[in-house]
Structure 1
Amino acid sequence: MDTKHRLILQRNRRNLVTALIPADICDGLLSKGVFTQDMIDEIQSKVTRRDQARQLVTDLETRGSQAFPAFLECLRETGHHDLAELLQSGDGAYLPHPFPIQPSQIPLPVQNPKCTEKHIPDHTPLVVVLPSRPESLPLPKPLSPPSETLRVRPTRPRRDSIQSYKMDASPCGMCLIINNVDFEPASELKDRTGSNIDCDKMEKRFKALNFEVIVKRNLKCNQIKHEMSTLSKRDHSAYDCCVVIILSHGTEASHNRFPGAVHGVDGPAVPVQFITNYLNGQKCPSLQSKPKLFFIQACGGGEKDTGFEVSPDEAEPSLGGIDDQTDAIPISSSSDSLSTSDEIDARATLPTPSDILVSYSTFPGYVSWRDTQAGSWYVDNLDLVLEENVASDDLVTMLMMVNDAVSQISAKGLYKQMPGSFNFLRKLLYFQSSQS
């Protein structure tokens, strides 16, 4: 699909997911050759209409150059005129209508623009006839001579679709929240006032997303390891996903996959990559090929980011709270760092860190800000983005929204923060939504 058409679909994803009736569209897309029967079956296997619409739009973005005009044609044929006009208004050019045609009809006389029901594969040259242009739309590029047909350059065959993870189990999966608030005096770490607000938000949010939530508070270093070990030994066969949320102080640590470490309330830190390893495909077989999500609200180091100047039209200043604190201590070497050695496995396998996403509240090496009255910038915006967009957008898209929102905030009118993710997911991930 052309980049401009893909962007139009992405910008209007929410409207499409809300209003589209996939059952009306699928037959048309199949008859026009845009979708295969396997793709239609995958769409129809989704439980709710919204999930079906979401899958349809996701698959549509991966199809050939004629998929977008075919989709507009199907929308008009099935009475989705408002959606068709909405999408076409964002195209900036009048789209060929109707289309497509069979190779046997090439060349097609200008006087007979009717089409057959078969769709030509992406690698086959097409002949498309342009009808008269409505006066309200911009002029298309002139044809020379006007009576000739327009040949579209052949495109390379594309893969069927990037698929979405299965996320319809009930409950969808386990969600472990580790909330470290009160640190022991010997740790020389301050108490994390405001973290309970973060914890409450995440507990409510993931319960709303149909997860079974377990909250553990004020864990020492060894207790964090114990809880992760317990989680890895559970049978996740009936679940589709697993989530771990850690709210604590953090620091830098040596690593070969995932940076950073989180502190127990007694002081010592557990590397993030050590935590993720408990749930990888080797250590937790019942989560193989299923998404494992980690959300880390902790500092990645001790540096404070003062940001850089931007032009006025880019700046959307937002001040942090009056009592912003960081979750950092200086960099330290950890005795818990993992071995970098790897053993060869000749069997057909997926890479060990596959299906893992780690979302960090801040860039490695930098502090993460927390308002003692309102909670951390990262969790507050993560909760808000999930609430507003979970019905229409995939996780990676929503995390980019979180990144943008947090980047606009300033602590004490000076310091900035930039969240980010280490993404090893293989498919799109859509959470369950209570909206139908």
Structure 2
Amino acid sequence: MDLKHRQILQRNRLNLITALSPADICDGLLSKGVFTQDMIDEIQSKITRRDQARQLVIDLETRGSQAFPAFLECLRQTGQHALAELLQCGDGARLPPSVPIQPSLIPLPVQNPKYTEKPDRPDFTPSRLGPLRPERLPVPNPLSPSSETQAVRPTRQRRDSIQCYKMDASPCGICLIINNVDFDPDCDLKDRTGSDIDCDKMEKRFKALNFEVIAKRNLKYKRIRHEMASLAKRDHSAYDCCVVIILSHGTEANHNRFPGAVHGVDGPAVPVQLITNYLNGQNCPSLQGKPKLFFIQACGGGEKDTGFEVSPDEVEPSLGGIDDQMDAIPISSSSDSLSTSDELDARATLPTPSDILVSYSTFPGYVSWRDTQAGSWYVENLDCVLEENAATDDLVTMLMMVNAAVSQISAKGLYKQMPGSFNFLRKLLYFQSSLS
């Protein structure tokens, strides 16, 4: 959808939620090809009309350039002329007195200002000077003393309090890993060589953290949704936490809470917002009040970060390898001139429900690098930080260590990457570990 049309929907979101009748226009949006049957089912699964209207508007923003005019046509065909005129004006015109109006809230745009929506395309293939090696990827801990002065690390006491989540169940919870490697040739997305290495690392790591790990490989769009729905239907009463790790290609998909989406191997992309919604307190009651963690290794766009100059004391440079690739969608063909093998992965954004944390491998709008022989920069460092620090540090602190480590790596000595998290946890989270 064009940016100006998304902004009109965002400015009038409360008016639409208040006055829109989703049941009247779903069939029209389906017949015009704006929505799929799965999307209609998702909207109709919401209990209240307001929730249905909210989901319809959220999904509408992710559709193509014809979605907005088709939506206006459906409004007029179903007699919702006041809403159609309000959106047609696009300048904050008021609804007639018969239709209640709410003050408009204008969310800040999430996408990179240089980024404009493009059709989905395959990755680039840059390269590095060699596979990732732990000795070349320092994992700085800015909050801890140096290793020379910290011979013995103290153990900590875990307890369920205002400060810490209860994390002592055995197993602690379920960890679902979705590892998409081999993409259908017709969808124009390259295979993600090296992703199996990431999957193996995360499977071993979360087993060591006392999670029941379920790894799924090469899932299509509908199968991703099916696995998430199955996970939400499980009884998590005996568990303290739930983890979802997604390794795939990604694309832009703006939502009011979580922009970004991850591709199934058949091409279509599942919005990250929808993935997180499966496990929120409303859809998965047995996880209410418990931490839900999402780790996304995928690209957030086609921009490549060349970084900025700092003093030598600020960084400890670390080069990537010859087999680095990007799990992103290129913006222009000029990037194809790079003869490297790093790939881009996707980015996403996060919802407002409590007890959710979404960690992304890269900043919104930018590429995420993956070494075909040693796995992605993000997963490599995440695994290393968890191994070294899970016994003593909370999750948010460890993710800051991952950010610091990845920020020091360079692809071809030029391109950078900056992971980040959307944190809606209410307490500190400490994993179980063999050292605790």
Matched, 1:304 2:304: yes
Higher relative contact order (CA 8 A, sep 6+): 2
Q: Partner of 2:187 in structure 1?
A: 187
Match of 2:434, SS state, is coil
Q: Partner of 1:246 in structure 2?
A: 246
Q: In structure 1, what residue type is equivalent to 2:238?
A: A
Match of 1:418, SS state, is coil
Q: In structure 2, what residue type is equivalent to 1:217?
A: R
Q: Partner of 1:424 in structure 2?
A: 424
Give the structure-2-normalised TM-score: 0.60
Q: In structure 2, what residue type is equivalent to 1:219?
A: L
Q: Partner of 1:414 in structure 2?
A: 414
Q: Partner of 2:328 in structure 1?
A: 328
Q: Partner of 2:262 in structure 1?
A: 262
Q: 1:17/1:225 Cα in 2 relative to 1: closer, same or farther (>3 Å)?
A: farther
Match of 2:398, SS state, is helix
- Listed one character per residue, the Cα deviations across residues 85-127 of structure 1 (whole Å, up to 9, x for unaligned) are xxxxxxxxxxxxxxxxxxxxxxxxxxxxxxxxxxxxxxxxxxx
Matches within 5 A, 1:119-268: 162-268=162-268
Q: 1:241/1:254 Cα in 2 relative to 1: closer, same or farther (>3 Å)?
A: same
Q: 1:19/1:199 Cα in 2 relative to 1: closer, same or farther (>3 Å)?
A: closer
Asked if the contact 2:165/2:428 (under 8 Å) is kept, the reply is yes
User: Gapped runs of 5+ residues in structure 2?
Assistant: 1-141, 332-350
Asked if the contact 1:17/1:392 (under 8 Å) is kept, the reply is no
Match of 2:242, SS state, is strand
- Listed one character per residue, the Cα deviations across residues 330-354 of structure 1 (whole Å, up to 9, x for unaligned) are 58xxxxxxxxxxxxxxxxxxx9610
Report the alpha carbon displacement of residue 370 of structure 1 after superposing the two structures with TM.
0.2
Q: Partner of 2:58 in structure 1?
A: none
Partners in 1 of 2:151 and 2:277 — Cα distance? 36
Q: In structure 2, what residue type is equivalent to 1:403?
A: N
- Listed one character per residue, the Cα deviations across residues 350-376 of structure 1 (whole Å, up to 9, x for unaligned) are x96100000000001111000001100
Report the alpha carbon displacement of residue 253 of structure 1 after superposing the two structures with TM.
0.8
Asked if the contact 1:251/1:365 (under 8 Å) is kept, the reply is no
Report the alpha carbon displacement of residue 252 of structure 1 after superposing the two structures with TM.
1.1
Partners in 2 of 1:177 and 1:165 — Cα distance? 23
Match of 1:313, SS state, is helix
Matched, 1:403 2:411: no
Q: Partner of 2:354 in structure 1?
A: 354
- Listed one character per residue, the Cα deviations across residues 203-240 of structure 1 (whole Å, up to 9, x for unaligned) are 00000000000000000111101100000000000000
Match of 1:273, SS state, is helix
Report the alpha carbon displacement of residue 327 of structure 1 after superposing the two structures with TM.
0.6
Partners in 1 of 2:153 and 2:420 — Cα distance? 32
Q: Partner of 2:365 in structure 1?
A: 365
Asked if the contact 1:253/1:261 (under 8 Å) is kept, the reply is yes
Asked if the contact 2:178/2:219 (under 8 Å) is kept, the reply is yes
Q: In structure 2, what residue type is equivalent to 1:199?
A: C
Q: 1:290/1:421 Cα in 2 relative to 1: closer, same or farther (>3 Å)?
A: same
Partners in 2 of 1:424 and 1:228 — Cα distance? 20
Partners in 1 of 2:412 and 2:406 — Cα distance? 14
Partners in 2 of 1:352 and 1:206 — Cα distance? 26
Match of 1:432, SS state, is coil
- Listed one character per residue, the Cα deviations across residues 254-284 of structure 1 (whole Å, up to 9, x for unaligned) are 1111221100001110111110000000000
Runs of 4+ residues over 3 Å off in structure 1: 9-20
Query: How many percent of aligned residue pairs carry the same amino acid?
Result: 85
Match of 1:380, SS state, is helix
Asked if the contact 1:258/1:422 (under 8 Å) is kept, the reply is no
Matches within 5 A, 1:278-289: 278-289=278-289
Partners in 1 of 2:426 and 2:152 — Cα distance? 26
Report the alpha carbon displacement of residue 308 of structure 1 after superposing the two structures with TM.
0.7
Q: Partner of 1:133 in structure 2?
A: none
Partners in 1 of 2:320 and 2:312 — Cα distance? 20
Matches within 5 A, 1:36-55: 50-52=155-157
Partners in 2 of 1:19 and 1:190 — Cα distance? 44
Which structure has the bigger radius of gyration?
Answer: 1
Report the alpha carbon displacement of residue 296 of structure 1 after superposing the two structures with TM.
0.1
Report the alpha carbon displacement of residue 317 of structure 1 after superposing the two structures with TM.
1.1
Q: Partner of 2:379 in structure 1?
A: 379
Match of 2:358, SS state, is strand
Partners in 1 of 2:371 and 2:327 — Cα distance? 11
Asked if the contact 1:251/1:330 (under 8 Å) is kept, the reply is no
Report the alpha carbon displacement of residue 412 of structure 1 after superposing the two structures with TM.
1.3
Q: How many residues align?
A: 275
Q: Partner of 1:4 in structure 2?
A: none
Q: 1:163/1:222 Cα in 2 relative to 1: closer, same or farther (>3 Å)?
A: same
- Listed one character per residue, the Cα deviations across residues 180-203 of structure 1 (whole Å, up to 9, x for unaligned) are 000000110000000000000000
Asked if the contact 1:201/1:383 (under 8 Å) is kept, the reply is yes
Asked if the contact 1:251/1:302 (under 8 Å) is kept, the reply is no
RMSD over aligned Cα atoms: 2.3
Matches within 5 A, 1:71-150: none
Q: Partner of 1:35 in structure 2?
A: none
Give the structure-1-normalised TM-score: 0.60
Asked if the contact 1:280/1:352 (under 8 Å) is kept, the reply is no
